[in-house]
Structure 1
Amino acid sequence: MQKSAAPFTLPRFDPRALPFVGEPDGLPPVADAAQTVAALRQRFAAPPHWVPEIQREPKFLDRAPAHAAVLVPIVLHARPTVLLTERTQHLSTHSGQVAFPGGRSDPQDRDAAATALREAHEEVGLDSDGVEVLGSLPAYVTGSSFIVTPVVALVRPGARLHANPDEVADIFEVPLQFLLDPAHHRRQAFEWQGQRREWYAMPYQDGGRTRFIWGATAGMLRNFYRFMSA
């Protein structure tokens, strides 16, 4: 999945309609004991040696690279969850997709954490006073030429959130335990103009609704799993 290819234009398609490729790879889930507040703090305070599984997607937009950051907000319920958003349908890129709060870096942002916190406040109204930044994962380069730094943080539950209607259609949470179990990490593939793209998908049943996590968001979560299981 690491090989790059020449840029090519992707047609519109629905990943929900694509089959999965192969079976889950049989890797073990991250233990519940490693998902506690103390364990998460310790993991980032003394990170293990590890290598991200996915660092760069094949390009599908031929434009100058741009730096960005996303917040990976772990909400501290009794069983932690990860806060995610669904992007609005009218956005020019990645419309309707599940995403972390985040976006392009601004010149006044002192670092990736500042970008992620600013964007999270703009998109979902998350107040940085209730956020404890643990650290960052290595940059993830998307097919649309964004160099994205995932910033992992702990978030107090009960935050009063509100979606920015220009960018966010919905805000929801997925159990961290679900996301850190590779039994739920499925692969998909798409062939177009003689080239093949592959990505991870992590469909989550939220009541009667399927939250279809795929693409860059799923790739960063897969890297987070690799970091937590190293």
Structure 2
Amino acid sequence: MTATPLPRPRKTRLSREEQKAARSQALLTAAWEAFCDKGYEAVTIDEVAERAGYSRMPVYSLFGDKQTLFFELWRSTVGELERRLFASIKPGAPLTRNLRQLAEAVANSGERDPAANPGERLFFVVQTIALSRPDIAGQLETLARKVVDDVAGIVRRSALTEGERLRAAPEVIAAHLVAQINGLATVQFQTRTRYASSRELTAIFKAIALKDTGE
């Protein structure tokens, strides 16, 4: 009896947009590795392309230049960080609970030594790039506003328990929360020291968001 050969699985053909997205992700991953290994200044477009298994042309066609490539990598990583920080936030849950979850996520993110992660060091470069690139500066502003809007949405969609009152409008509270998180990250990076536990951050976040009962 002759065995009937099993049909070969048909290969899924990617659309042009899917192929473009795959190339873009491969180049961003290669860029991340290269920047972490050697630092921003030492990395070339050719090296990123070689690590990803492409010629230099896809890098230029997708990103244009190294500064734009770096910004897109930074934007992608900020989006992923935001998703991790907000993963345990529940709309409709008490605001104090959501602030505690946010504080725990912030306190537990990154390395024990804030300057030990090369990726964290590299993303301070984007501020310097923006000084000479008005287009990137504009995108940086848009992204910063989105982060504030997202945090304001958390405040707006959280519940207040009896007697609790917001200290200010959700957008104002969000701006101060983001400033606290960013400022703390900068100080910890510069001093190589972590200053706040999740418990301490929770108290700070509550003080930013809620009026004291005695006020």
TM-score (norm 1): 0.22
Structure with the higher fraction of residues in strand conformation: 1
Q: Whose radius of gyration is greater, 1 or 2?
A: 2
